[in-house]
């Protein structure tokens, strides 16, 4: 039953467009719920698997592929010299050190010198052009391999990397689960689940969901991904929290945009970051026209009838994207963390909000992720009490 469901997802008719695939995945809700219920009844722990249709795949092939990527991205990709290695989470930056594209780099299986780059599908052609601009006369082949490969995620369960196929631990956070690039025309094998001794047991605990489930899971953890969540050309990599997500190396040497990024790191003060926000009461089917400016309710009232320039100065952040009642926002840390602390204490004061059509407003509640280091947001005040500086 499960194999048949997967095959319907990967049929040529279904794979002809991302929207068709998502519609098919959404139609599996009843099947997935039944599988989950039967697995739970049997005492098995279920987990979720989703095809990430918003991601594409670039093939970078040639003897110098690792050396070339080493000089283009924020992280040290030399581990990819080993066949089957990866993924390495990293970013392409503009010459001024701003976010351009994020990517997960894998070494292709086998002995051929080829890297597979998991990138945002909407920005794939832009990423190809950027890499091609710096390829110069190197004997490298850059191609869109999205018809050949697809990206999958397995999450919300006790999962183990390795085993059959190319399931690998997401390098950013353990809670994100597993990630992999697979043949687009074949089923990815079920990942190894803790407590399941056979592939049959592993498959029985698997719940197929749409990409929206993984997107909301990411937002609950405070993880931005792709060119919609992260404003291209506007955000510095450390404002994307890259330093806490295993996405940057300060010992690898030079790369495009490195100078500005290193200056920000050694200065040690970040005043804006991407962070998760809750959108209380927002229906799961509602889509807000992101990006949207975030202001305090008090500032919004004071700005009524004011000049556009003064309204912009009262902006605290930008809601970049959301999925249901969870989203990601690019926020000024001081007011955002103050609002998060006030919400945690139940204080009733000025709220943060976005303005919608017709004068309606949507409340925005910033969340401080548990994995954030304690010093984030208070760098200018010095180290927290009881800590020692090196």
| Residue ranges of domains in the chain, CATH in brackets | 1-270 (3.30.1360.120), 276-370 (no CATH)
pLDDT digits (tens, 9 = 90+) for 319-371: 999 999 999 999 999 999 999 998 888 877 678 999 998 889 999 999 999 99
Question: For all residues of the chain together, what is the average pLDDT?
Answer: 83
pLDDT digits (tens, 9 = 90+) for 63-111: 999 999 999 999 999 999 998 898 999 999 999 999 999 999 999 988 8
Could you tell me the pLDDT band of residue 379, with boundaries at 50, 70 and 90?
Answer: low
Instruction: Judge whether residue 24 has pLDDT over 70.
Output: no
Long-range contacts of 6-10 (CB under 8 A, 24+ apart): 6/187, 6/208, 7/187, 9/51, 9/208, 10/184, 10/185, 10/186, 10/187
298 vs 316, 332, 347, CA distance in Å?
A: 12, 17, 15
**Which residue bears the tokens 């990409």?**
211
Could you tell me the pLDDT band of residue 161, with boundaries at 50, 70 and 90?
Answer: confident
Q: What is the pLDDT of residue 210?
A: 94
Instruction: Specify the higher pLDDT residue, 250 or 18.
Output: 250
| Secondary structure of residue 313 in the 3-state scheme | helix
Secondary element (H or E) of residue 23: helix 18-26
Could you tell me the pLDDT band of residue 181, with boundaries at 50, 70 and 90?
Answer: very high
| pLDDT more than 90, % of the chain | 61
In angstroms, the CA 217 to CA 151 distance is 17
């Amino acid at each position: 039953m499960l194999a048949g469901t997967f095959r319907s997802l990967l049929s040529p008719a279904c794979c002809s467009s991302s929207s068709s695939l998502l519609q098919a995945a959404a139609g599996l809700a009843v099947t997935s719920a039944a599988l989950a219920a039967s697995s739970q009844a049997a005492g098995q722990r279920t987990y979720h698997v989703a095809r990430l249709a918003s991601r594409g795949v670039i093939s970078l092939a040639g003897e110098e592929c690792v050396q070339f990527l080493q000089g283009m991205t924020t992280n040290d990709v030399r581990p990819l010299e080993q066949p089957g290695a990866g993924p390495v989470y990293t970013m392409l930056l503009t010459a001024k050190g701003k976010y351009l594209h994020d990517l997960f780099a894998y070494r292709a299986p086998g002995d051929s010198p080829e890297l597979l780059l998991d990138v945002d599908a909407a920005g794939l052609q832009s990423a190809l052009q950027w890499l091609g601009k710096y390829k110069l006369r190197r004997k490298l082949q850059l191609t869109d391999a999205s018809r050949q490969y697809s990206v999958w995620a397995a999450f919300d369960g006790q999962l183990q990397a390795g085993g059959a196929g190319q399931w690998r631990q997401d390098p950013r956070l353990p809670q994100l689960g597993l990630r992999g690039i697979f043949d687009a025309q074949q089923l990815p094998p079920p990942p190894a689940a803790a407590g399941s001794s056979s592939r049959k047991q592993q498959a029985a605990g698997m719940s197929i969901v749409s990409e929206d489930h993984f997107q909301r899971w990411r937002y609950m953890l405070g993880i931005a991904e792709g060119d919609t969540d992260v404003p291209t050309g506007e955000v510095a990599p450390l404002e994307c929290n890259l330093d806490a997500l295993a996405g940057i190396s300060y010992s690898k040497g030079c790369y495009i945009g490195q100078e500005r990024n290193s200056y920000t790191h050694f200065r040690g003060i970040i005043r804006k970051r991407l962070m998760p926000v809750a959108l209380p009461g927002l229906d799961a089917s509602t889509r807000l026209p992101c990006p949207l400016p975030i202001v305090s309710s008090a500032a919004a009232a004071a700005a009524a009838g004011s000049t556009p320039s003064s309204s912009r100065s009262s902006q605290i952040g930008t809601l970049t994207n959301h999925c249901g009642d969870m989203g990601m926002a690019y926020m000024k840390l001081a007011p955002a963390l103050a609002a998060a602390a006030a919400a945690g204490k139940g204080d009733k004061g000025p709220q943060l909000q976005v303005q919608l059509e017709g004068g309606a407003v949507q409340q925005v509640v910033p969340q401080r992720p548990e994995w954030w280091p304690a010093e984030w947001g208070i760098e200018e005040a010095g180290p927290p009490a009881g800590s020692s500086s090196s």
